[in-house]
Amino acid sequence: MTIDLSGRVAIVTGAGGGLGRSHALALAARGARVVVNDLGGARDGTGRALAAAQAVVAEIEALGGEAMANGASVTSMEETQAMVAEAVARWGRVDILVNNAGILRDKTFAKQDLDDFCAVFDVHFMGSVNCAKATWDVMSQQKYGRIIFTTSSSGLYGNFGQAAYGAAKMAVVGLMNTLRIEGVRSDIRVNCLSPSAATRMTGEVLDEDLLVALAPGKVSSAIVALAAPDAPNGAIVCAGAGSFERAYITLTEGLVLGDGGRVPEALLERFAEISDRTGEAVPAQGPLQAIFEVERAKAAMVGVDAG
């Protein structure tokens, strides 16, 4: 099998450098026409300029590909809608959306100003919402779409000083989990990528060996795969240094403790049993948790509780 994206149109946000640039080049190398979106701001999101996006467009064109630069802010629904309209006007469709744009304003939760917290959340989460919303109708009408959200190990597992960033990155997983269900009838497949890469946002804290090992190009193969016609749906793919993994949100078998007066104490006393991952599962949809719990309680005869 060879992934051929000829005739497909991709939008990559935050594509003026780092991972976004690498993603745009990788998609273009497989034949996709690429909207290279980048606000052109600083690491913290301030300022804007189109030069970085234009430089990536020039790279793609020098390699024989087709691309266009776009400076829309993903935090603006009006600007993202205009970006999608521009792509459709030029190429007739939008097949692939890679939500990569991001900023960092790291501080501990105690010290972080809520304006900074909201700014980070607005770019990473609402920026992804805006772009997905702007492309959804187009993809629904053409009965085809591939949407990729960028999550992070900081969201999946936590990281000191990144409460806002981690919260936003976990929020896109929740968004993906619902959109991958709602998009099925239109063949819109929605996945998340959790990258480990040396970029403008991470490079200053990595030593030389890690800078080489974690080159952005070693992540972008996952973007090509998730943009393919045969892409999975609803996966959290982790990638870095040429290694690829899959992360899951699972449900343990747990215990039926009932609703007696000592249930809180029993829950803590038996927490290790509740946490036992033997036989854990990944519910296909959220309501299946409640169905599982009700059926299990019935089978255990709920009248027998922890006292």
Give catalytic residue positions.
165
Position of tokens 């993202």?
80
Query: Strands, E, within the chain: which ranges?
Result: 9-12, 33-37, 67-70, 96-99, 145-150, 188-196, 236-240, 243-247
One-letter identity of residue 117: F
Could you tell me the CA-to-CA distances from 262 to 86, 252, 275, 300, 306 in Å, in that order? 62, 22, 19, 18, 6
DSSP state of 201: T
d(CA 195, CA 210): 14
One-letter identity of residue 303: G
Structural contact between residues 72 and 79, judged by C-beta atoms closer than 8 angstroms: yes
Helix/strand/coil for 203: helix
d(CA 146, CA 176): 11
d(CA 11, CA 18): 16
d(CA 49, CA 47): 7
Q: Which two tokens stand for residue 40?
A: 């052109």
